[in-house]
Amino acid sequence: MSVLDNVDASTNLAKNNELQLLVFRVSEKGESAYYAINVFKTREVVEAKNHYITQIPSAHPLLEGTIILRELQIPILNLPQWLGIELTPKEIQKSNILICDFNGITIGLRIMSAYRVIKKNWNEMHAPDSYRLKNDGLVMNDTRLEDGSLCLILDYEKFLAEVIPQAMVNVQESPENIKDLTIPERLKNGTVLIAEDSKTAQRHLTQIFKHSNINMKIFDNGKKLVDYIQELGERAIYIPAVITDIEMPEMSGFTVIKTLRDSPYAKDLPIIVNSSMTGNNNKREAEVLGASAFIDKTKSHDVIPLIIETMNNHSI
């Protein structure tokens, strides 16, 4: 039986500020770390030896090539090498490929083995400041397994942006998208609040808002954003819009939406979900909880027009 066979529905997890992680290893060495990825970004794990890799001329060194899986051409990214780990020929033969979806794009990550699926509350996910000191940091947050082992959650969006940049947002498109739009005074004079823990996504959003001459304030997780709004109290009604990711330590984007909709001062604010988890279940759950709109991260350059459209649809 596959380790991915028993996975709870994302909607049930969202209601309890929970997530499920697929824990895996990238090397057979005894002291090698455990890594994890949200199960709702994964499709399946296949044995690497059963799939021929077609190399791509002049590709990024970490892009091994592509495989064909059920008539779909899938790029394979060398995750161990990104982490500074060189697999031996024997390890390569025994390795697996983790098939994932990011921003609606299917990719394969070379790993050694899938360990198991674990359930965690988002407040058990930790993001030490040391992970945020440098722009080239690879780790976003961590958690502990039952035996106390450290399990690292990587900035997979950073990995994807480095190896397949065309799979990420084009930040230069934003000014073109807004030049013919009428920007509401509330947006011109206000500050959009953003909850986003990926430094890569933070940089993208910062560039987009800077190009658009619109003020924004970024929080590293959803709890910090919610705490800030609660401190504002009645002044929160002047916030033009809130943008939130789904996957964040401390408090998920789903919980952000629910908490703000339960607040007398934030219940009518436009809330836009900006996420790489673009499955229909996630979009549906965000809508049910009260999100005003949903945009996937590859289309973040359209977020300003979406904010304007959403504000125009809100009677605030």
Q: Are residues 161 and 176 part of one domain? A: no
Indicate whether 5 belongs to any domain: no
CA nearest 295: which of 241, 239, 259? 241
Boundaries of domain holding 55? 10-166
Residue type, 129: D
- Average confidence (pLDDT) over 183-194: 93
Distance CA 262, CA 301 (A): 30
pLDDT of residue 316: 52
| 34-47 tens-digit pLDDT | 999 988 889 899 99
> 150: domain CATH number?
2.40.50.180
Q: Are residues 210 and 283 part of one domain? A: yes
| 290-304 tens-digit pLDDT | 999 999 887 888 899
Assign 1 a pLDDT band (cuts: 50, 70, 90).
very low
pLDDT of residue 180: 73
- Average confidence (pLDDT) over 154-163: 88
The count of structural domains within the chain is 2
Indicate whether 308 belongs to any domain: yes
- Length in residues, the chain: 316
Q: Please list, residue by residue across 118-148, b when 16 or more beta carbons sit within 10 angstroms of its beta carbon and e when fewer do.
A: bebebebbebeeebbeeeeeebbbbbebeee
- One DSSP character per residue, 210-250 reads HHHT-EEEEESSHHHHHHHHHHHGGGGGG---EEE-S--SS
Distance CA 107, CA 298 (A): 15
Q: What is the pTM of this model?
A: 0.78
Q: Are residues 296 and 210 part of one domain? A: yes
| 219-248 tens-digit pLDDT | 999 999 999 999 999 999 899 999 999 988
